[in-house]
């Protein structure tokens, strides 16, 4: 990239340039550096590599192939190429990656983004589609994690992007080298996150390996391209890519400390009923600093719905203010309902316009409503349930309030989306993850077992940008 030259005047006409005319040439990565970057992969036996054909991901493929042979890695790896079909060169680039993968000794799968493409926010939509396609493929192959070619420059660009959106600590901590709960629940590994892009390109040049260049990376109509240009200008003022990434790392440590504190609060102060809802003491909640309260609310919503909560910060702050005013309230947010009494705050999954579905056909194992795992007991003779059992929310079950033993200290509405198993004749079966059934209502054994899924380990999500400013905690 052509750099502007700034001059510092001395006296009347003397000047000294403080940046070089051309970027300093960087060497490629030596084998010992690659071994150190990939050393953590020894614990995996089945990996996927996301490769687009650009310098970053292609270098990942080439160096991974060399490393795996050098250390005699015994695992299985597959290269995944997503063809978005957005440019005329897409098919040729996919074939190019397949050829390079074959030379490196790996099979490659080309996944196509089918259907109508959006007219706006194309890059974000393409990114979302890419992870959906990759997740589906990895589920089929049993891959444990996805290797990505993100590098130090990407980290700095992500930081600036989040900065323009008014992000808080969660956003400004940028990307993690090991993201255990990324898009679509994937585990994402980024071994190059500490490496400059120029070193990856130099590594390919040293091997005589070409790569594909996406012209959209230079198109200033895209925000990423503009941020890339801004980083070059900031570097001339002393704010280098390394400095930006270092700042993101400092913020990530602060974020980790906050998340540790929230996990501790959840384990000690929040009670989760086996059937789904949660509650905590209102006075205890009010005593926490505001940032901890916001994160605590976010974590509670994530747990009671089974999906990662993504509330707008303004709405989350509004809920926090309402809960701290001391008055009784009932307020919904992100598929949950919060109710506050004089001493207690309750939260539960609300039916809303799309209540949990009712299942009448079952695999041997599965997940219901993102919250409960079901399994067919081993003594069953076939998958088809002879009694035609149903698994659905209490609000759809053929039962009345008198059929259940209601726990003290919980609103009855808090269990509207709790799981219930019933037969076509209306017989309700007692399950450990459901409300207890009144004596005499359960006369048969049930061949379906239910278990509450554990609390998700990751408290917040940095894998997807939020479109409005001040949108992240």
326 marked as part of a ligand binding site: no
Q: 3-state SS of 369-427? A: CCCEEEEECCCCCCCCCCCCCEEEEHHHCCCCHHHECCCCCCCHHHHCCCEEEECCCCC
Quick one: 50 and 135 in the same domain?
yes
What per-residue confidence (pLDDT) applies to 86? 79
68 marked as part of a ligand binding site: no
Quick one: 303 and 388 in the same domain?
no
Dihedral of the CA atoms 341, 347, 352, 354 (nearest 10)?
Answer: -170
- Per-residue confidence of the chain (473 residues) as pLDDT tens digits? 333 333 333 333 333 334 444 455 789 999 999 999 999 999 999 999 999 999 999 999 999 999 999 999 999 999 999 998 877 888 999 999 999 999 999 999 999 988 777 777 777 788 888 999 999 999 999 999 999 999 999 999 889 888 888 888 888 887 889 998 888 889 999 999 999 999 999 999 999 999 998 766 666 777 777 888 888 888 888 889 899 999 998 999 999 899 999 999 999 999 999 999 999 999 999 999 999 999 999 999 999 999 888 888 899 999 999 999 889 999 999 999 999 999 999 999 999 888 999 998 888 889 999 999 998 875 544 444 445 789 999 999 998 888 889 999 999 999 999 999 988 888 888 777 888 888 766 545 677 888 898 865 443 333 333 333 334 56
Quick one: 202 and 56 in the same domain?
yes
449 marked as part of a ligand binding site: no
What per-residue confidence (pLDDT) applies to 351? 94
Quick one: 159 and 212 in the same domain?
yes
Pairing of strands 390-393, 344-349: unpaired
What per-residue confidence (pLDDT) applies to 305? 94
Domains in the chain, number: 3
What per-residue confidence (pLDDT) applies to 65? 96
Domain assignment present for 233: yes
What CATH code is carried by the domain that includes residue 267? 3.30.465.60
pTM confidence score: 0.74
Quick one: 230 and 272 in the same domain?
no
**Token digits of residue 284:** 């205890």
Quick one: 179 and 57 in the same domain?
yes
57 marked as part of a ligand binding site: yes
54 marked as part of a ligand binding site: yes
What per-residue confidence (pLDDT) applies to 111? 95
**Token digits of residue 354:** 């799309």
Q: Among 252, 277, 297, which residue terminates a domain?
A: 252
Quick one: 192 and 289 in the same domain?
no
Q: Among 235, 252, 269, which residue terminates a domain?
A: 252
Burial 216-232 (b: 16+ CB within 10 A, else e): eeeeeeeebeebbeebe
Domain assignment present for 442: yes
53 marked as part of a ligand binding site: yes
Q: Which domain holds residue 229?
A: 31-252
Domain assignment present for 433: yes
CB 190 within 8 A of CB 176: yes
Q: 3-state SS of 189-233? A: ECCCCCCCHHHHHHHHHHCCCCCCCCHHHHCCCCHHHHHHHHHHH
């Amino acid at each position: 990239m052509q750099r502007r030259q700034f001059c510092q005047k001395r006296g009347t006409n003397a000047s000294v340039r403080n940046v070089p005319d051309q970027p300093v040439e960087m060497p490629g990565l030596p084998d010992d550096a690659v071994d150190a970057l990939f050393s953590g992969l020894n614990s995996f036996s089945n990996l996927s590599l996301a490769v687009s054909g650009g310098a970053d991901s292609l270098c990942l493929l080439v160096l991974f192939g060399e490393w795996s042979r050098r250390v005699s890695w015994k695992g299985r790896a597959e290269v995944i190429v997503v063809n978005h079909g957005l440019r005329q060169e897409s098919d040729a680039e996919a074939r190019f990656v397949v050829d390079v993968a074959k030379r490196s000794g790996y099979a490659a799968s080309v996944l196509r983004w089918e259907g109508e493409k959006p007219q706006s926010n194309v890059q974000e939509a393409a990114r979302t589609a890419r992870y959906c396609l990759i997740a589906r493929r990895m589920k089929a192959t049993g891959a444990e994690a996805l290797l990505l070619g993100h590098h130090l420059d990407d980290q700095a660009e992500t930081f600036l992007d989040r900065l323009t959106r008014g992000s808080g600590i969660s956003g400004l901590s940028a990307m993690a080298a090991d993201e255990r709960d990324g898009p679509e629940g994937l585990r994402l590994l980024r071994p190059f996150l500490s490496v400059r892009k120029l070193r990856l390109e130099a590594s390919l040049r040293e091997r005589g390996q070409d790569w594909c260049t996406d012209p959209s990376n230079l198109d200033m109509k895209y925000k990423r391209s503009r941020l890339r240009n801004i980083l070059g200008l900031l570097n001339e003022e002393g704010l280098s890519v390394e400095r930006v990434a270092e700042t993101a790392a400092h913020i990530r440590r602060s974020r980790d400390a906050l998340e540790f504190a929230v996990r501790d609060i959840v384990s000690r102060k929040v009670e989760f009923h086996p059937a789904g809802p949660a509650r905590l003491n209102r006075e205890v909640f009010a005593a926490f600093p505001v940032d901890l309260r916001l994160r605590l609310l976010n974590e509670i919503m994530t747990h009671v719905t089974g999906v990662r909560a993504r509330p707008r910060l303004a709405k989350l702050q509004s809920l926090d203010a309402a809960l701290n005013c001391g008055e009784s309230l009932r307020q919904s947010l992100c598929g949950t309902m919060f109710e506050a009494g004089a001493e207690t705050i309750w939260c539960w999954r609300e039916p809303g316009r799309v209540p949990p579905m009712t299942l009448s056909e079952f695999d041997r194992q599965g997940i219901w409503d993102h919250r409960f795992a079901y399994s067919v007991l081993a003594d069953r003779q076939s998958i088809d349930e002879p009694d035609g059992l149903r698994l659905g929310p209490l609000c759809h079950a053929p039962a009345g309030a008198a059929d259940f033993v209601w726990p003290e200290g919980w609103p009855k509405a808090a269990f509207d989306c709790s799981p219930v198993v019933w037969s076509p004749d209306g017989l309700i079966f007692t399950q450990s993850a459901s409300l207890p059934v009144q004596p005499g209502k359960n006369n048969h054994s049930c061949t379906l077992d239910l278990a509450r899924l554990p609390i998700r380990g990751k408290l917040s999500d940095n894998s997807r940008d939020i479109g409005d400013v001040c949108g992240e905690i």
